[in-house]
Structure 1
Amino acid sequence: MPRRYWIEFERGAGARMFGLARFGVTAEDPAAALDLIASRVFHGRALPPVSRMVEDVDVSTLDPEDVQEMMGDPQRPGLWFPLGFQD
C-alpha cells in the first residue's frame, strides 16, 4: 500500500542546483520515493543527503501557503510536491 512521504534534503550543492530541497511523494516505500525524486527531478544524478523523512505525513501539518496551495493529489502515487513533476 502506498504511503505519503515528506522528504527534505540538506541544502548543499545538489539541492541548490535545482533550487529544490523539499518533496512530497506517495510511494510503496522510502527507497521507491527516493527513486522517483532521483529520476524525475535529478535525472539520475546523485541525490543530496536526506536531512528529514516523514513517513505517513499528515499533509494538513505542512505549510498552508507554501506547500498546501501548490501541491498535487497526495492520494495518487508519485510526486505531489512541488508541482511540475507529476505524470
Structure 2
Amino acid sequence: MIRYWLTFNLENFADPPFGIKLGCGVTALSKYDALKIVEEKIFFNTAIPPISSIIGDIDVSSLDENHIIPNMSSPTMRGIWFPLGYQ
C-alpha cells in the first residue's frame, strides 16, 4: 500500500467537495487505484478537477500539523484518510 497526497487546481471548479481545499490523503495499491478511490468516494464518479500535484509515499509527518494531522484517520488502510468523512 502506498500513501498519496493530492492537491487540486480548484480555480475554475465551482463547488468543490467539503474539505479538499488543503488536499486529499489516500492510501492505495497504485496511483491509478488512488485516483479511482478519490473519484468514487469524494467526487462520486463525476469529473475530478485538475490535479496540481500527486506525491507518492508521502511522509504524513510532513503535512500541516495544525490542520491536517489532527483531522485525519489512519493512513495504513486502503482508502481516504484526509479529509475525514469520505471513508
Q: What TM-score results when the alignment is normalised by the length of structure 1?
A: 0.89
Structure 2 counterparts to residues 10-49 of structure 1, below 5 A? 10-14=9-13, 16-19=15-18, 20-21=20-21, 22-49=23-50
CA distance in 2, matches of 1:67, 1:28: 22
Structure 2 residue aligned with 1:62: 63
- Say what the alpha-carbon RMSD is for the aligned residues: 1.4
Q: Which is helix-richer, 1 or 2?
A: 1
Residue identity in the other structure for 1:12: E
Residue identity in the other structure for 1:18: P
Q: How many residues align?
A: 85
Q: Deviations over 1:31-62 (max 9, x none)?
A: 11111111111111011111011100000000
* 8 A Cα contact 2:10 2:16, kept in partner: no
User: Residue 12 and residue 6 in structure 1: after superposition, are their counterparts in 2 closer, same or farther (change >3 A)?
Assistant: same
Q: How far off its partner does 1:15 sit?
A: 7.1
The gaps in structure 2 that reach 5 residues or longer are: none
Identity %: 36
